Chain A
């Protein structure tokens, strides 16, 4: 069989022939002969394509290029341009009749994207993270070059201080100040550490930055190293992020190949090297002292501060430790200046913050907005609101260290201070949206359950105190709450906050305190009335069949424990002793005859 480079299909239907398809076919054959392409390209007559109003139709394979309204003389161009040179003849391609421009809006015009200000995420989803050239094309390593050749370490620290950048890992400590402390410490060796041990349930912005723009972190760490006089950096990333680890390692290797890391960076006398250390899945290792102890190879447990890491950190040496998102802002600040950064955000909190939207919200994903943006804008305008027309109840910010913010406070601008005032905190930026079906007592119980699991056990308030709180909450959700439980919870919470050793324990009671503050009535309903207003806590639920039961027996068939009895066509009953509250009967009932309370 002969091999042809291309096949040219010309419609041989009646109408196309009427419009001159035969002549086109002959023209094609003669042109092919002229160019000596008969052996490479095969013309074929086909049946009707059923697109007669666009005829005559010519299709070129293997690409599948679709030409319409082809006239005799157009064939010359198709042969000369497309078949000979491989250039498609755009003007002959089918015109989109109803060019639906509304549906072809560019990404940048979509509200979810348009309402954001992307600094930390600016390259995520834009460049190929496994290709250093793409990062370089987007001003990559320009900030490092600027720092190395036009600035003194002191200038760098001043610039970062003036920008007002604060730690994005949750604490909100001024980054420039941190760098200044580390730079002032005298030692034979200093370290730079990137905290990528992102453990808050529902937060994944650090992962996204590491996976989407790993070079930005490397560049910022090198700048940090230059500023404080360090030549070695560690990235502590959790092992649950295999793709982030892979891309980071690849980025480090590429940067070393290009002379952007290692000895004599860019021909200067500045050396900087970065290594990766994997965390083994302990939440407490996101706490800076525990993290450094873990890098050293010891059991990840926090220690008392002071001495702060800037004085005595990794391997006993002065260390500067920052979160991934904090670092992601640094190269942009260096390039565009402190003034530019301060134009975004509020007086106290400059710049932007990335939030991970999750829970009962239409658009689950990452958003980056200027500090001071009201929660309502993030949840409704960007997040698309609550699915299924349900009512918004609260938003949980800051993960296990944060708290719940109710609907009447949705218009407060988000920054470090206001969130703490509201009894929550910025945390790493997880935002879990809850609707009317979420029981706030159960939410508090869930987060406390997490902290109890993750408590390292070194200090008593956290090890024992949170456990006692969890026991009380478990009791309340099981309908065994007693009067005075709320007071006990509050007392324990305040004491744990005052006395725990590290951030984990000091913030662990926040979910409980904030839900008591804003949803005290739900706690009271659980304890006093033994009901769950959100119909969530199973032990407090009852499924009951109403009088409009037709006796269709559908519920009897789905009940997994045989708790429903009754004559066919007569009213049925649910035995509350046998019922396991799975809700299958209510879902099955076609007559709305079963309700829960």
Chain B
């Protein structure tokens, strides 16, 4: 990562505990890696994390942007992952249809 990219670094964190993997977390992680590579987005790092407890909403993905904002996406699929890269990471508009607040009942 070059210095200029660091200013707008984006972190994508995919839930990869047993519950996340069972719900399909691995193809989602791969979709993020592929899509960011395809778009040549060098300011994006894709990492994994454990279970946050909301197993019924897995696969879950956090997108942390450089302005310190965290958006949590739930029930992510590889297609949704590609949409999140295009709309949120590149163009800065969170895909509100897939966020936790639009899914969670409590």
Within the assembled complex, what's the spacing in Å between the Cα atoms of A212 and B16?
9
Using an 8 Å CB-CB cutoff, how does the interface string of A396-422 with B read, 1 for contact, 0 for none?
A: 000000000000000000000000000
On whether the beta carbons of A366 and B53 are closer than 8 Å, the reply is: yes
B88 to chain A, nearest CB (A): 10
Q: Which residues of A (6-63) have their CB < 8 Å from a CB of B?
A: 61-63
Total interface residues on A, CB under 8 Å, equals 58
A88 to B39, CA, bound (A): 14
Docked-complex contact B50 and A100, CB < 8 angstroms: no
> With A64-B39, A125-B17, A363-B104 given, can you name 15 additional A-B contacts, CB distance below 8 Å?
A65-B90, A66-B91, A93-B93, A103-B101, A104-B71, A104-B99, A104-B101, A106-B69, A107-B72, A110-B100, A130-B48, A208-B17, A208-B19, A212-B49, A366-B55
Residue numbers of A with Cβ under 8 A of B are 61-66, 85-88, 90, 93-94, 96, 100, 102-107, 109-113, 116, 121, 123-131, 204, 207-208, 211-213, 241, 243-244, 362-368, 381-385
Q: Is the interface of B mostly helix, strand, loop or mixed?
A: mixed
B12 to chain A, nearest CB (A): 12
Among B5, B41, B53, B71, contact of A368 (Cβ-Cβ < 8 Å) = B53
**A365, B8: Cβ atoms under 8 Å?**
no
Q: What are 25 pairs between A and B in contact, CB < 8 Å? A: A62-B39, A86-B5, A87-B4, A88-B90, A93-B92, A102-B101, A104-B71, A104-B94, A105-B101, A109-B101, A111-B106, A123-B50, A125-B51, A125-B60, A204-B18, A207-B17, A211-B50, A212-B17, A362-B106, A363-B54, A363-B56, A363-B105, A365-B19, A365-B55, A381-B106
Q: Is the CB of A211 within 8 A of B101?
A: no
B8 near A124: Cβ-Cβ < 8 Å: no
A125 neighbours in B (Cβ, 8 Å): 15, 17, 49-53, 60
Q: Is the CB of A212 within 8 A of B51?
A: yes
Give the residue of A88, A208, A382 whose beta carbon is less than 8 angstroms from that of B50: A208
On chain A, the residues within 8 Å of B102 by CB distance are 103
How far is B56's CA from A213's CA once the two chains are assembled, in angstroms? 20
Task: Chain A residues near B54: list those with CB within 8 A.
Answer: 112-113, 363, 365
Report the Cα distance A118→B104, complex, angstroms: 19
Residues of B within 8 A of A366 (CB): 51, 53, 55
Residues of the A chain whose Cβ atoms lie less than 8 Å from the Cβ of B106: 111-112, 362-363, 381-385
Q: Which of B18, B51, B94, B96: most chain A CB closer than 10 A?
A: B51
Q: Which residues of B contact A364 (CB under 8 A)?
A: 55-56
Alpha-carbon distance between A346 and B34 when the two chains are bound, in angstroms: 50
**Cα distance A84–B40 in the bound complex, in angstroms:** 15
Interchain residue pairs A-B with the least CB separation, the first 7: A212-B50, A125-B52, A384-B106, A366-B53, A105-B101, A103-B96, A365-B55
Q: Which residues of A contact B47 (CB under 8 A)?
A: 128, 131
User: How far in angstroms is the closest Cβ of chain B from A385?
Assistant: 7
A432 CA to B40 CA in the complex, in Å? 47
- CB-CB < 8 A to A66: which residues of B? 90-91
* A63-B90, A106-B71 known; A365 vs B53 contact (CB < 8 Å): yes
For A241, the closest partner residue in chain B by CB is B18
Taking a contact as CB atoms under 8 Å apart, the answer to whether B101 and A64 are in contact is no
DSSP majority for the A interface?
A: loop
CA distance in complex: A211, B42 (Å): 28
Out of B2, B53, B57, B100, which one reaches A124, CB within 8 Å? B53
Neighbour of B92 across the interface among A90, A123, A204, A382, CB < 8 A: A90
Give Cα A61 to B38, complex, Å: 10
B55 to chain A, nearest CB (A): 4
Cross-chain contact B52 with A124 (CB below 8 angstroms): yes
Q: For A241, what are the chain B residues with a Cβ–Cβ distance below 8 Å?
A: 18
Q: Are A367 and B90 in contact (CB under 8 A)?
A: no
Interface hub of B2, B7, B42, B56 (most chain A Cβ within 10 A): B56
Residue contact A208 to B101, C-beta cutoff 8 Å: no
In the complex where A103-B99, A104-B71, A110-B101 touch, is A124 in contact with B92 (Cβ < 8 A)?
no
How many B residues touch the partner, as a band?
A: 35 or more
Across the interface, do A365 and B56 meet the contact criterion of CB distance under 8 Å? Answer: yes
Across-interface contacts of A65 in B (CB, < 8 A): 90-91
Interface centre among B8, B17, B69, B104, by most chain A C-beta atoms within 10 angstroms, is: B17
The CA-CA distance from A385 to B39 in the complex, in Å, is 43
Q: Smallest Cβ distance from A458 to chain B, in angstroms?
A: 32
Whole-angstrom distance between the alpha carbons of A85 and B93 in the complex?
Answer: 22
Q: Is the CB of A128 within 8 A of B49?
A: yes
Contact A243 B17, beta carbon cutoff 8 Å: yes
- Complex partner residue of B38 from A62, A123, A382, CB under 8 angstroms: A62
Instruction: Give the distance in Å from the alpha carbon of A106 to the alpha carbon of B57 in the complex.
Output: 15
Interchain CB contact under 8 A, B49 and A126: yes
Residues of A within 8 Å of B94, CB to CB, are 104
Q: Are A213 and B50 in contact (CB under 8 A)?
A: yes
Contact A243 B18 (CB under 8 A): yes
A88 touches B101 (CB 8 A): no
**Shortest Cβ distance from B91 into A: residue:** A66
CB distance from A159 to the nearest CB of B (A): 27
Known: A64-B39, A85-B4, A93-B91. A127 touches B100 (CB 8 A): no
What residues of chain B lie closer than 8 Å to A112, measured between beta carbons? Answer: 53-54, 104, 106
Residue contact A87 to B7, C-beta cutoff 8 Å: yes
List the A side residues contacting B21 at CB < 8 Å. 243
**Residue contact B96 to A104, C-beta cutoff 8 Å:** yes
User: Which residues on A sit within 8 Å (CB–CB) of B69?
Assistant: 106
Say how far A363's CB is from chain B's closest CB, in angstroms. 6
Q: How far is the CA of A250 from the CA of B45 in the complex (A)?
A: 21
Write out the residue numbers on chain A whose beta carbons fall within 8 Å of the beta carbon of B90. 63-66, 88
Whether B48 contacts A128 by the Cβ 8 Å rule is yes
B72-106 residues with Cβ-Cβ distance < 8 A to A are: 72, 86, 90-94, 96-97, 99-102, 104-106
Known: A62-B39, A366-B51. A384 touches B105 (CB 8 A): yes
List of A residues within 8 angstroms of B60 by Cβ: 125
Within the complex, the shortest CB–CB distance from A287 to chain B, in Å, comes to: 24
